[in-house]
Each structure stands twice: as structure tokens, then as C-alpha cells.
Amino acid sequence: MADKVKTVAEVVQTVPDGSHIALGGFAINRCNIVVAHELIRQRKKNLTLSQGVVGLDTDLLVGAGLVSRLIMGGGSLDRFGPVHCVNRARETRSVDAHDYSSLTICFRYLAGALGLSFIPVKSLLSSEILERLEAGSAAKDIKRMKCPFTGEDYLLLRSLNPDISFVHVQIADRDGNSQIHGARWENEEQAKAGRRVIVITEELVPTEYIQRYPEQTIIPAHRVEAVIHQPYGAHPTAVFQCPKRSSVFPNT
């Protein structure tokens, strides 16, 4: 395969304004900080961001004014507090926020990963979350239906197929075979649902290493467009099994 290693600046140059970007990671773990910084540096605009639980990367992008729409399942900076920029933007309605549960965001990525246009779920039924979604601009992505076999109530959720999925990983080779150690959350489904997939890796290893542990490869090379080799690319958020790169948030 061709060498897919590129700089973050090269990759971000190919991100059109108005793109739907999925961000991997979770709260303060494996956040795409180096990508967020470069998107801000290149002054991208009118972005849609989707993420199961939004974290520092999303908060930075919203605070910088790059985001017009958020598709999210809650968010926080864990023990360091709330996502202040996201919360302000939601309260002032400067972004169009679609607030799901984190589980239903995962279901929507799963539908995209499976090549389905929607997925039936029972989650959210009889909830205030559903009432708010149906009352807003997210209503077009949700339909109610009766099961044709049992008559039970279901929701149909439109799949999420991001234009670009960014996922920070611990290990990748130059072809794009990528390994995520520790909790993965919905990151595998994000990658498989994305039209383009970019991985940011702490370590760049020979393909022979990947072949030695094939069961650990979560994102295969044929799904990956580019690899950004950026140690500390998630800093200051944590990266499992990279202790020197763990979270060093000031306790403020």
C-alpha cells in the first residue's frame, strides 16, 4: 500500500467548510486536540460535529466559533468540570444542538457502520430527551413506528455518516492499520461510518508489529485515508497505556 502518513496541516487543508466531522475519544480521553488546534488555525467554519460524549476538542472548536451544529450525547471534562463553551453555545442558541443520549448516538453510528439508512431502537421512548428532539430541528432524523410483527413501539433513528471521522489511537502503521488500547466507546463505529477516516497515532510501528497482533487492529488500513503521527496529539487529555501523556489538566 502507499504510505499514508501526512502532517496534520496537510490533512486539515482537505477539510471543506461545512463538513460533518466525527471526533473520537470520550470526555478527557484520547481527544483530538492536535486536530482541533489545526482546524482553528486554518479558520474552518460552519462545521457539524458529532460525538458520543463531547470533550475538550469539541469545547475548543465551539469556543472558537467554528461550529454551527452539534450532534451529541452529553459531555463533560470529567473531574475538571463542565464543557463551558458548549454549554454557553447551547444556552445562547449560537449552535444548533441536537441532544441525544450517548447510547442513541452510538446506535446512529452503528447504523452508518452497517450501511443502513436507519436503526430501530426503544431507547428514548417516553423521555424528555425525545420530546425536545421532536420539537426541534432534529425531528427530521427521528420517526416513530409500530413493529409490524408485535405492534410494539419503536423509534427509527437516521444513521450518522460523517464526512470525516478523526480517531486518536495508540498504535498505527504507515498503511493505516490502527490499534486502540483500553475503552473504545463508539470509536470503531465512527470510523466505519465515516466517508473518510483519519487516524492520529501516538506511535508509528512497522506493519510486522501489526501482523504479530492482528486481533488488536480495530480500524483496518483499507478504511483509512491518512495517518497523522503526532505523539502527545491528545495532550492534555489522557491516553491509556501512555502514562507520560496522561491528563495534566490544572485543577481549576
Q: Which domains does the chain have, with CATH numbers?
A: 8-100+160-245 (3.40.1080.10), 102-158 (no CATH)
Residues with Cβ within 8 Å of 74's Cβ and at least 6 positions away in sequence, in order, are 53, 54, 99, 101, 102
pLDDT in the model for residue 245: 54
pLDDT in the model for residue 2: 76
pTM of the predicted model as reported, rounded to 2 decimal places: 0.95
pLDDT at 207 over 50: yes
What pLDDT digit, counting tens, does each position of 7-40 carry?
999 999 999 999 999 999 999 999 999 999 999 9
Q: Round the average pLDDT of the chain to a whole number and report it.
A: 95
- Banded model confidence at residue 246, pLDDT cuts 50, 70, 90: low
At residue 118, φ and ψ (nearest 5 deg) are -155, 170
How far is residue 148 CA from its own chain's centroid? 34
pLDDT in the model for residue 251: 37
